[in-house]
Amino acid sequence: MNLLGGANPDLNFSAVDFTFAADWRKTHADEFPTHIEQAKAVIADLHGVTVDVADPVAVEQAGRQTIDALGAVDILVTSAAITGPNMTTWAYSVEDWRRVIDININGVFFCNKALVPHMLERNYGRIVNIASIAGKEGNPNASAYSTSKAAVIGLTKSLGKELAKTKVTVNCVTPAAVRTAIFQQMSQQHIDFMLSKIPMARFGEVEEVAALISWIASEECSFTTAAVFDVSGGRATY
């Protein structure tokens, strides 16, 4: 069973399409109920759970509901994220900062924490946390987002090493800009800045990111953990 957690329906639907080919049952955990209904229309046997990823109790309950409904969770993909305002760090309100951190990194932590014990009990699991190139480089006028995604990388590396002697792997993906609904949260100036940094001179496609996620989440990806996978059109320098 594949658990997709995130407020990015475009990326999640594409990942579901790829994993469906591998005959996995799926669930989509999202803040927005409409996305669950859209996903259910795409895949008839989808198990949907609406959850605020910033609420640890709700995440824990959603994890238990999913396990009870489907029997097991083999794969966790965490992609819930918001950009936050595009402004200088000193102009950020405390409320906006906390909102980004709560969803983008605390939510990832809560989801990982909720599912790892189950995976350890079964001695198998694949966790793919979605970070960002911003977590490597830091984007100006996006300090909360960049900080949160750097934290996702750090969490992935630490947890992956903690689980390295088990059959539970933990890796993350650091996409450059991929044109999804999250662009609606950004200023055009910020979108243009991101495009200017990509040597391929185009945005990524959701299918390209989903294909990478699907391989990392597969049984074949068995000797890689605590790793960061680049999908940035040549932007990443490390």
Task: Report which of residues 204 and 115 the model is more confident about.
Answer: 115
Is 212 inside any structural domain? yes
Is 237 inside any structural domain? no
Reference 207, options 12, 27, 35; nearest CA is 12
Q: Is the pLDDT of residue 34 over 80?
A: no
**Least confident interval from 36-40, 151-155, 165-169:** 36-40
Residue 216: which pLDDT band, with cuts at 50, 70 and 90? very high
The tally of domains found in the chain comes to 1
- Compute CA distances 41 → 20, 34, 66, 131, 210, whole Å: 14, 11, 19, 28, 19
* Close Cβ partners of 121 (under 8 Å, ≥ 6 residues apart): none
| pLDDT at residue number 93 | 98
Residue 50: which pLDDT band, with cuts at 50, 70 and 90? confident
Is 188 inside any structural domain? yes
Q: Is the pLDDT of residue 90 over 90?
A: yes
Q: Is the pLDDT of residue 3 over 80?
A: no
Tens digit of pLDDT for each residue in 185-200? 778 888 888 889 889 9
H/E element, 77: strand 75-78
Is 113 inside any structural domain? yes
Is 236 inside any structural domain? no
CATH of the domain at 152: 3.40.50.720
Verify whether residue 124 is a known catalytic residue: no
Is 162 inside any structural domain? yes
Q: Residue 73's domain spans which residues?
A: 2-231
* Close Cβ partners of 154 (under 8 Å, ≥ 6 residues apart): none
Task: Report which of residues 45 and 148 the model is more confident about.
Answer: 148
Is 145 inside any structural domain? yes
